[in-house]
Structure 1
Amino acid sequence: MVRIGAFLVGLFFSGWLLISFLFGAAAFVSDPPQATVEHEFHRDPKHVSFSFEGPFGKYDRRQLQRGFQVFKEVCSACHSLKFVAFRDLQQLGYSEAEVKAIAKQWAIKTPDVDPKTGEASTRDPVPADHFPKPFANNVAAAAANNNAIPPDLSLMTKARHHGSAYVYSLLTGFQPQPAELLKEFPDAKTPEGLHYNPYFANLNLAMAPPLTADGQVTYGDGTKPTVDQMAQDVAAFLTWTAEPKLENRHRAGVATVLFLLIATALAYMAYQNIWAEKKKAV
């Protein structure tokens, strides 16, 4: 009796799912989803190659230092790196003295409390501090950026599909709205105060083009600071902030694969040796 009841319950739910599927398919055919401006004009990230891609990829320390320079001189005015400490920069090849100097000379002071009076104050950052936020709070950030709060960039390349390429594409993707877009979607004109970028999810974002001309940053290693180069460098730097242990993972992955291959070969040879006599007997 219990089995019959269970069968009937299962049959009921299976039938209900089938009916729902048929109704959904009929609705899709009779009233297909309408094309939207985002689906029509949103673009996948551009193809760009980085040294850290692939199972054997490694960070280019010189590129990371250039990317940090771009962040410091261009991006840090609006964006934060709340999960990165100044002392982490030693992983990029900076010495301890250089890291101390970078922290002390940082344009934004670190909030503190006066131990004598208990009043709020500020001080120069030290290597143990995380990068300070450029704004006191979200209200101040929104007021300075057309009511948009600039996101923290520490994990940005992990938060976006094809993160490194996404950052590069976004920084180099600002352009006027295509005439065909306005012709097909007259109401999709970019609102005043926003900027058209086909690599952004809804095509319009509050951030103005941050990299506007070649030579905006002067590289100390002699690399020509074109917009394309600066975008690649800061994308690489933000990949490092999100995955500082990427090279360790690559090394561990290669070692694990080699171990598994050797273990598999040994196991197979042991199998052949142990069962050789049994097979002959059979």
Structure 2
Amino acid sequence: MTKIGFIGTGLMGHGMIRNLLKNGYQVQIWNRTKAKAEDLINDGADWTDDAAQCAHDVDFVITIVGYPKDVEEVYFGEHGILAGANPGTTIIDMTTTSPQLAQKIYQAAVDHKLLALDAPVSGGLAGAENGSLSIMIGGDQATFDHAFPIFTAMGKQIVLQGPAGSGQHTKMANQIALAGALAGVCESLRYAKAAGLDPQKMFDTIRAGAAGSAQMEAFMPMLINNDFKATFYMKHFIKDLKIAQGEANDRDLKLAILDQILKECQAVEAMGFGDEGTQALYHWYE
């Protein structure tokens, strides 16, 4: 039986781990807070005491944690993945992080006789839970082919984008596109309310036309109901946009919408809404 070490049992990790278990994989897990993993242990996942132990004696290691600094610690720390993984193990970082960090992990994997892929995802909590994530992957073709069955347990759109770091670059493009779409949803609703429209009637009408989008389907109903529960944290979205902005700046790109939406999201976080979902951007317009 293929054995997987999975590090990170947060919003996204929970659903991804459950789908791996449902598909017959043996999964051992680690998270900094064991309490957040108790239900997964009850579902059949095996608990380990640190990242190194989680990465030891498995076929694949998957990580999806919060920030680049967390990725650094999990891979390169004293009790990290590189300290525990056996030669030949495939390590897959599914966190959204910088392309440079993905390339650093890839080179470290080569040095330790491991295989590596960067494989950030899109699709939010629903995609993680129902196994329909879009997975954008950077790395070598042979490693991608080797890991493909694992990815099919978690996602539907699974594409090798290019060499190491390409998955992360694709995720940056995704987040840039998403930022503008999300702002459009928020501004649309704000205008509708100011004009005295019934928000639900407005949504039911425009969703079927050219304005319809995944962001509208996901968040307009929640905003109409003043529901700001996180399916993806605002604070993590800000992290993604800051990475995207840095990559754009490195290439002398002026991406005005990205810059503006990042400012708005940071203002919303400063208001105290960083632990709400990305739809919390609406607070900026109130």
Whether these two folds match at TM > 0.5 is no
TM-score, normalised to structure 2, is 0.26
Bigger-Rg structure (1/2): 1
More strand by share: 2
Higher RCO, 1 or 2 (CA under 8 Å, sep at least 6)? 1
More helix by share: 2
